[in-house]
Structure 1
Amino acid sequence: MKTYHGSCHCGAVRYEADIDLARGTVKCNCSICTKMRFWAVQLPPASFRLLQGREALREYRFHLRRDGHNFCGACGINIFTSGASAAGPFVAVTVGSLDDMPVEELLAAPLRVFDGRNDNWVTPPGETRHL
């Protein structure tokens, strides 16, 4: 477990998160994740701390309106998603918004891909190269 720091592009939103990269990273093929090229690290909500910019955050929910996709209202960068899964509440921090995570550590972490497009959270989709 290590504490990393992240932000949006313009710096209006800043956070820190306690991340265990041994647990891996996630990608999803649902409609919004595909368009965002969503790549994230899932955490328990207590491991995520918003340090600045709550007023700059905007949230987008769709379909079942279960998960909140949070982005900076000024620069548009997707920063994190919050929601609940079968494993419980989570925050999924986008790896692109992490400022101090070495690329080598990120690439060495295991990767799980979800078939959100078919609401199948157990079996990965057959094709993942586009994600």
Structure 2
Amino acid sequence: MHHSRFCTLVIDCQVDDLAPAAEFWSRAFGKKIASVDQDGDGRYAELETAAEEPLILLQKVEHESRVHLDIETDDLEAEAKRLEALGAKRIAFVRERWWVMQAPTGHRFCIVRRQRETFGPHLNTWPE
């Protein structure tokens, strides 16, 4: 048995500097900026969200700007297999930390490890 849930709205930004993008989305959503440089490498910014809300992350990317979703899980491999059975395809295992997947509709999304200390509400339990 493993668990998963929708956890993050990721705004992929094809920009040189995430700070102006973070400022725009902060004001658009009415959320304070938690960090304009989450990991110290200039690739991620985060907006403040309540524990029961999905995370809102801005990611500096090379590809065209778009939005993608993250699903968090306590078992990356089991969740990837579950989603493959639904028709998704594995695209890449990034930094040995998350899977980039593609839905049958062509949309990209990621399977990531648990993002907060606890899963919180809206958790799904999946049999093996």
**Shared fold, TM over 0.5:** no
TM-score (norm 2): 0.31
Which has the larger Rg?
A: 2
